[in-house]
Structure 1
Amino acid sequence: MKIISILPWADWLALVCFFSIWIGYAFFAKAWAKTRPSLLRTTNRYRRYWMEQAIARDPRMLDGIITQNLSTTPAFFSSTSILIVGALFALLGTTDKATELMSEIPFAQATTLIVFEFKILVLVAIFVYSFFRFSWSMRQYTFVALVIGSMPPPEDFASGQFERVAYVDRAASLVASAAETMNDGLRAYYFSFALLGWFVSPLAMVIATAVVAAILYSREFRSEVLHILKD
């Protein structure tokens, strides 16, 4: 309750705006992708193509290698998130020096020690969230490897002993879910940079959050990579 009275209303409004834009964009991107091509939706099509090829291959060593390579990215960001959280907690022990350094930056708003610590804790919460998303994505890729490893030989699909479409749908959905979960973690990283503007001023954070949302929109719905993949 103490932080509620200490933190200025401008900071509370900026924080509410920050999370509103973040959560709002996540819902917008998912809903918009149902009617418009998005990077995730387009790459999901290629993930299905991959699984259609995987059930026709024997042995499936190539698919195992691809799955392992895909899982290295969330594994890297998961371990990086732990390091960042540790560094932020270490920063909490030197907040007095950090506040002095921030006060020397032009246009930076003067803040009390407890408010500065609260801002760091919000950053910690964001990277903890990203850690859970990346680690869950990494685990989902192990499920993908499990499904690929359990696929029957191609001749069993050809004979009708196993349903081809069911296996493809299951494997493609798992890969898409792992990719979407990793995308959530990456989005948290993007918005964590916007939160750094809060150390300057509440207005700087709001502007930075809007800029990050615009960058994410351009990359997910209007990027050159999307144009290449959807053709």
Structure 2
Amino acid sequence: MTTADYIALAFFACVWVGYSWLLKGRTFFGRTSLTHAMTERRREWIYNSLRRDLKMIDTQIMAGLQNGTAFFASTSIFAMGSCFALLGATEKVGAVFADLPFVLHGGHGAFEMKVGGLATLFGYAFFKFGWSYRLFNYCTILFGSIPMMRDTEADIIAAERAAERVIRMNVIAGSNFNEGLRAIFLSIGYLGWFINPYIFMLTTSVVIFVLARRQFFSEARLAIMDGRPPSELQLSAIRRDMPSNDGNASTGGL
């Protein structure tokens, strides 16, 4: 391990912590992050469920969130196991690296330390995904306590309290899922360390740049932030396709 390796590792840790801290704020240069925007959409979803008795669609959404989390948890376990298998091939990997240009191979000890760090990343991701899965399970149970429409109208305050419990649990579960996914993304940047510490810092910077762009400047963010009303042409097309009062399709314009 050289001084450049320690500097690159410190850079990796600081960038990770700094980016995570940045996302905890609501805005960055006046722009709301995609994560916080989706938090508001989660709130809208749960409150909309108070206005309908048939909640099958809501349970399907909950199941989808759990299944996605379980997939990434399983993937993290397999990736961590692959790292331990890689430790058994240190000699072969060292021979391959010795023939590659631009690769600063610091010996078997340095290689094993790098693989151990990669396994730690996947282990961290697994615990985040595992806890997120458990919280989504709790969220499903809490969702079952949301009253039906008649009970909601009778006691709106109790209904809002039940909805807020679901929202808070769902947001916490989503936050843990995002942190696990962030570790998976950063593990791609971590792979640059196996080449040399300078590539390590470069790949880490590229990954953080991509993640920040998706959070604050992506089309996905615009899709849920754009509150402009539909154009007259869009309204005309919608009304043309809507059935009229007598059951026939409307042929008029606006």
Q: Which residue of 2 aligns with 1:28?
A: 22
Quick check: 39-48 or 114-123, which moved more?
39-48
1:165 maps onto 2:160 in alignment: yes
- Aligned residue for 1:111, secondary structure, equals coil
**Are 1:75 and 1:138, in contact at CA under 8 Å, matched by a contact in 2?**
yes
Q: What's the offset of the Cα at 1:176?
A: 1.4
Q: How far apart, in 2, do the equivalents of 1:146 and 1:32 lie?
A: 29
Q: How far apart, in 2, do the equivalents of 1:60 and 1:53 lie?
A: 10
Q: What's the offset of the Cα at 1:32?
A: 5.0
Report the aligned-residue RMSD.
1.4
Match of 1:90 among 78, 85, 90: 85
**Are 1:92 and 1:120, in contact at CA under 8 Å, matched by a contact in 2?**
yes
Q: Which residue of 2 aligns with 1:136?
A: 131
Q: Which residue of 1 aligns with 2:44?
A: 49
Q: What's the offset of the Cα at 1:135?
A: 0.7
Match of 1:119 among 114, 117, 124: 114
1:115 partner amino acid: A
Q: What's the offset of the Cα at 1:41?
A: 0.8
Q: How far apart, in 1, do the equivalents of 2:68 and 2:135 lie?
A: 13
**Are 1:85 and 1:127, in contact at CA under 8 Å, matched by a contact in 2?**
yes
Match of 1:191 among 178, 186, 190: 186
TM-score normalised by L of structure 1: 0.93
**1:108-138 deviation line (CA, Å, top 9, x unaligned):** 1122011100000000000000000011111
1:205 maps onto 2:200 in alignment: yes
Quick check: 105-114 or 33-42, which moved more?
33-42
1:139 partner amino acid: R
Q: How far apart, in 2, do the equivalents of 1:221 and 1:14 lie?
A: 26
Q: Which residue of 2 aligns with 1:10?
A: 4
Q: Relative to total residues, which structure has the larger helix share, 1 or 2?
A: 1
Structure 1 stretches lacking a partner, 5+ long: 1-6
Q: Which residue of 2 aligns with 1:99?
A: 94
Q: What's the offset of the Cα at 1:105?
A: 2.3
- Aligned residue for 1:163, secondary structure, equals helix
> Runs (4+) of structure 1 moved beyond 6 Å?
none
**Are 2:53 and 2:149, in contact at CA under 8 Å, matched by a contact in 1?**
yes
Percent identity over paired residues: 34
Q: How far apart, in 1, do the equivalents of 2:181 and 2:156 lie?
A: 41
TM-score normalised by L of structure 2: 0.85
Q: How far apart, in 2, do the equivalents of 1:115 and 1:161 lie?
A: 61
Q: How far apart, in 2, do the equivalents of 1:176 and 1:161 lie?
A: 22
Q: How far apart, in 1, do the equivalents of 2:44 and 2:156 lie?
A: 22
**Number of residue pairs matched by the alignment:** 225
**Are 1:156 and 1:162, in contact at CA under 8 Å, matched by a contact in 2?**
no
